[in-house]
Amino acid sequence: MGGRSADLLIVLAGVVVAAVAVAPIASHWLTNPPDQRLVDLEVYREGGRAVLRGAPLYDVLTQPPQFLPFTYPPFAAALAVPFTLLPWGAAQLVWTALIYAALVIVVRYSFRDLIRRAGRWSPVATGALVGAVAWMLPDRDQIRFGQVGLFLLAMCLADCCTRSPRWPRGVLVGLAVAIKLVPGVFLIYFLITGRFRAAGNAVMTAAGATLFGFMLLPSDSVDYWFGALLQGGDRTGAIDGTTNQAINGIVARIIPEGTAQTGVWLVLALVMACVGFLLARRATRTADLLAGDGPRTFAGTDHLPAADRPASYALLLAGVSITGLLSVLLSPVGWIHHFVWMIPVAGALVGDGRDTRRCLFGVATWFYFLWPLPWWGARMIGPEHGYVTEFFGRVIQDLFGLAAIASIFVLGRWLVDRAPHDDHPEGPSRKRVEVGTLTP
């Protein structure tokens, strides 16, 4: 009985550590001026209201001064309906709590083996890691805007990294694609890494959810798939804005709008896709080779041997993280808050925390994304600055996108070459985490 009480106190301590760390972020943005508070959540709510009253989904705009349109598939609007039934204040609190719950799941997957080394104190380790990554700029912006990025990240990590899921692997990725199209890169990931059943499940789930959207909102579905989807920057925002750190945004800040800009972007995106997916496949296949064959019996719908050992899991996570970064870099718009994928990047680098050099790389990644570097660069651009200052300002303005590109090569080359030499199998006395619905 005393042991259980002590374990409960440790869990509570972990919750307190995380809560103390994230409280300043949440309180700051939840007390922001009303017209600047969780503006993307208001977009979702407006979409839900349009569904309830039968208004054209892609004609609605949020209240001034934002005037933001709904840019997601109709299925996402249907999911937003429950939040329209809550008062605005309650919806903000519930949404923020759910974002942080998703962050806990992301941290548990991203730093799985490091957390396990804490043993009984793993809840405190989890709380400390949640508090640390919550201060990364992309994660702070998730709260600022009330975004869905951490939900999609948690779904993709759970689908790709769970040892033995209770659900058919691929279903969560399929749902993520139905909510927002950019996780569709994981369909390619499943195919190139030989996870064909997961790819099939993802496609069927995404197709089923999309068909549900057509049945529920036929006119809006036609408007989206044959209209709003093709409008691109006209609905999502300025392509050349600082916050767009995708390859398209970097190119748009250098080359004026036109055929040349589009051509350069498509060529660079194609090269990045080819290289990125090759490195994602390299990391994942190396993880599969390191892991060997899995057990013949398991509790879930399938078993992922690469999730069994620290070294192979780190490489599995690296392959998934590379794919996630590609979802941001290859998209026409990849906002700063989309770089929540740097959390599993840091986790893959750190691994179980036994390799000092890898830990330094992981901590450096975390530290790098604490600061609004692109905005610092934007302030160095303008007629009041000289050519040299503006040149460096342009470079600094693109540092998040450039760091994402560099991370793909670090994970796919350096980490893959290094990880097989530092494997530390779990000791027989170490308690294994049981499989479950959201167990890494």
pLDDT tens, residue by residue, 205-236: 999 999 999 999 999 999 999 987 876 555 67
Average of per-residue pLDDT across 85-105: 97
- The reported pTM is 0.94
Percent of the chain whose predicted confidence (pLDDT) is above 90? 84
Average of per-residue pLDDT across 387-409: 97
Q: How far apart are CA 170 and CA 165, in angstroms?
A: 10
Q: How far is CA 385 from the centre of its chain?
A: 36
Mean pLDDT across the chain = 92
Asked if pLDDT for residue 265 goes beyond 80, the answer is yes
Best CA proximity match to 179, nearest among 211, 152, 203? 152
* Residue 429 buriedness (CB in 10 A; 0-12 / 13-18 / 19+): exposed
Instruction: Return all residues near 168 (Cβ < 8 A) that are at least 6 apart.
Output: 197, 198, 201, 301
Q: How far apart are CA 110 and CA 177, in angstroms?
A: 21
pLDDT value of position 440 = 61
Is residue 53 within a helix (H) or strand (E), and if so which, with residue range? helix 39-53
Q: How far apart are CA 425 and CA 15, in angstroms?
A: 29
Instruction: Return all residues near 246 (Cβ < 8 A) that are at least 6 apart.
Output: 328, 329, 330, 331, 332, 333, 334, 401
Asked if pLDDT for residue 429 goes beyond 90, the answer is no
Contact (CB, 8 A) for 57 and 223? yes
Asked if pLDDT for residue 427 goes beyond 80, the answer is no
Q: Which has more confidence, 420 or 273?
A: 273
pLDDT value of position 297 = 64
Asked if pLDDT for residue 399 goes beyond 70, the answer is yes
Give the pLDDT confidence of 22-31 residue by residue, as tens digits. 999 999 999 9
From residue 400, how far is each of 199, 260, 303, 415 by CA, in Å?
Answer: 30, 24, 35, 20
Instruction: Return all residues near 1 (Cβ < 8 A) that are at least 6 apart.
Output: none
The phi, psi pair for 332, rounded to 5°, reads: -55, -35
Instruction: Return all residues near 126 (Cβ < 8 A) that are at least 6 apart.
Output: 14, 18, 104, 107, 108, 111, 115
What DSSP designation does 31 have?
T
Average of per-residue pLDDT across 66-71: 91
pLDDT value of position 238 = 85
Q: How far apart are CA 107 and CA 105, in angstroms?
A: 5
What DSSP designation does 182 have?
G
Asked if pLDDT for residue 36 goes beyond 90, the answer is no
The neighbouring-strand residues paired with 69 are: 61
Which residues in 238-292 belong to E strands, given as ranges?
Answer: none
pLDDT value of position 436 = 40
47-61, 146-160, 220-234, 374-388: segment of lowest average pLDDT: 220-234
Percent of the chain whose predicted confidence (pLDDT) is above 70? 92
Average of per-residue pLDDT across 259-288: 97
Give the pLDDT confidence of 336-353 residue by residue, as tens digits. 999 999 999 999 999 999
Which residue type does 415 have?
Answer: L
pLDDT value of position 426 = 47
pLDDT band at 237 (very low <50, low <70, confident <90, very high): confident
Best CA proximity match to 373, nearest among 401, 400, 391? 400
Q: Does a cis peptide bond (omega within 30 degrees of 0) precede residue 305? A: no
Residue for token pair 């990590």: 157
Contact (CB, 8 A) for 54 and 81? no
